[in-house]
Amino acid sequence: MPDSPTDRKQPRFSRGDVIAKRFEIESELGSGLLGASYLARRIDTGKHLVLKVVRPSIVANPRDRQRFTEVFNEARKVDDEGVVKLGELVDEGGIFAFTQMYFKSQSLRALIDEYQAAQRSFTLQEACQIIAKVLGAVAALHDRGIVHRNLKPENVLVESRSTGPGGKNVVRTIKITDAGLSEVINPTIFAESFISRSDAKYLAPELEGFEDAAAPQADVYSCGLMLYELLVGQPPRGTYLSPTQLRGDLPDHIDDVVENALQQIVADRYPSARDMIADLQRSFEPDADDKPARSSTRTILIAAVAAISVVVGIGAYVTSREPEDKVAALKLQDDKLRAEVQGKSRVPTEDELRAMVQQHQEMLYIPPGPFLMGRLHQEDLAVSASQAEPLAKEVEVAGFFIDRYEFPNQLSKDAKVAPTTKVTYEEANNACAELGKRLCTEAEWEKACKGPGNWIYAYSDTFDEARCGGGLDAPYQIGDHEDCVSGYGVQGMSVGPREWTGSQPSSNTARRIVKGGMKGKAQRGSRCAFAVDESANFAGNNLSFRCCLDVGGATVPAPAPAGG
């Protein structure tokens, strides 16, 4: 939304600024239709919250402020687990703002971008569960007579947690933000921004007018758009292809769900959010999939169209957003490399994975195939990676098993055991050999860390101290950081002590490669690509190890002993 002359006078805040004598700014989170959002700390309690500073044009006169106050007071009565809870209004020192709970998460937009960059598609179950949870929150609003009117991926917050054996299951908590607050915006301002706003495609067509009221079906329409995007990789535009025309693995019933949600005439859509939820659930009933098998040729064709659609979608997205800086340009370069490698990787079936895990329940199976070994282009600028580190290249690795945790690899969360440290290479190698295993190679360790997405860190591309701690300097016990897990389910690869590998640098048999950590520099050293070499006789307080095992190998010959 373009800034009005009044908005140009809106102050911007930086870390350390204090608002209304009780809120200390820590960082800016972004800007939307209502105004700028900041992560702030309440000085008297130390509690973190989100402070939204409202655009001056929205509350330019007393009548608008009164309107905002009335709508806000009604919206904050909503107490539903799927809705971000509102706090208090702030009207002091020429600043009009409000607070809301801080929900540590990522937006659905960020999650969609993450999947597209990794050339991944949301499964039917993933897409339907996300939208069903959004619809559940929307239904709670509608029960109070509130219509959101501005639902879009940016206003849907997602917390993802890996659970189950190997972290194969992902549990997502969904909350919607700015619930009910679109009503505080003068209808004329809201409608005038319809054409200029990039997110206007998520709004129901009737919101293009200047009417003040909106029916609940406006939110149903927005949910239908987001469901379509999750399934096929981009929102529909104009005359669109149905989801099953773009993906051969979807039941025909999902086409009906999308069509009913996206009707241009309000009365033709689902009457309520709960009606759409009920119809979504039918997509998983047996009769939803009872249809003649599509011919292999048609399935291949549809898959090809889907792939092209995703690539075109990403291309359009990239074209419409010129890289703002060098890091953005390097990310695009890395994403192309990732897509090429992932296109050559075979994903094991669930039965194969289950069989592998049953062989060695204390270990995880890493499937064979290529990965990107070395530093990605974006690491040069984003984390000041050393130019001496090899630039990422495609490396083929055979399938193998790897310990879930650092040695002694305790599976019980109640064990509270610290990783074994102060061990030389020989001691680590012998400990693995006694278990019929071996030390991992540098390539195996790095592949297990980067996961299927070839991430910079075990958990994502962005350093997150809250998720994995501050590096080598903090006391650490196995399993302390449950969220610090790689895409293959391996724990502790971007946290805790460094780890021996069985690889040696060039021809120097007296030294071995060590992965995972750098004293005092967690952001740089906890990257999966980071490595140093140590004397094989060295035993440090922050030097540990974990074991690997060849697929099908009960006892594996140990690497050659280190020479002098």
- Tell me the domains of the chain and their CATH numbers: 7-101 (3.30.200.20), 106-318 (1.10.510.10), 350-550 (3.90.1580.10)
Q: Please, what is the angle between helix 217-232 and helix 273-281, to 10°? A: 30
Per DSSP bridges, beta strands 547-550 and 511-515 are unpaired
Lowest mean pLDDT among 50-54, 55-59, 110-114, 153-157: 55-59
* CA gap 531, 221 in Å, rounded: 50
Q: Tell me the CB-side half-sphere exposure of residue 413, using CA atoms within 13 A.
A: 5
- Residue 295, pLDDT score: 29
User: pLDDT, tens digit, for every residue of 45-94?
Assistant: 889 999 999 888 788 888 888 888 888 888 888 888 899 999 999 988 78
* CA gap 256, 526 in Å, rounded: 47
- Residue 212, pLDDT score: 52
Residues 6 or more apart whose Cβ sits within 8 Å of residue 174: 82, 130, 133, 134, 137, 156, 157, 158
- The candidate with the shortest Cα–Cα distance to 546, out of 372, 360, 380, is 360
Cis peptide before 408 (omega within 30 of 0): yes
* pLDDT exceeds cutoff 80 at 169: no
- Residue 400, pLDDT score: 93
* CA gap 460, 454 in Å, rounded: 9
Instruction: Map residue 130 onto helix, strand or coil.
Output: helix
Query: Both tokens of residue 180?
Result: 């009910």
pTM for the full predicted model: 0.50
* CA gap 344, 277 in Å, rounded: 37
User: pLDDT, tens digit, for every residue of 318-360?
Assistant: 333 334 457 777 888 888 888 888 778 766 666 666 677 677 8
Alpha-carbon torsion, ordered 40, 86, 107, 58, to 10 deg: -90
- The candidate with the shortest Cα–Cα distance to 82, out of 146, 157, 169, 30, is 157
User: pLDDT, tens digit, for every residue of 382-433?
Assistant: 676 666 678 999 999 999 999 988 999 887 666 678 889 999 999 999 999 9
Specify the residue for token string 């990310």: 331
User: pLDDT, tens digit, for every residue of 177-192?
Assistant: 988 776 665 544 444 4
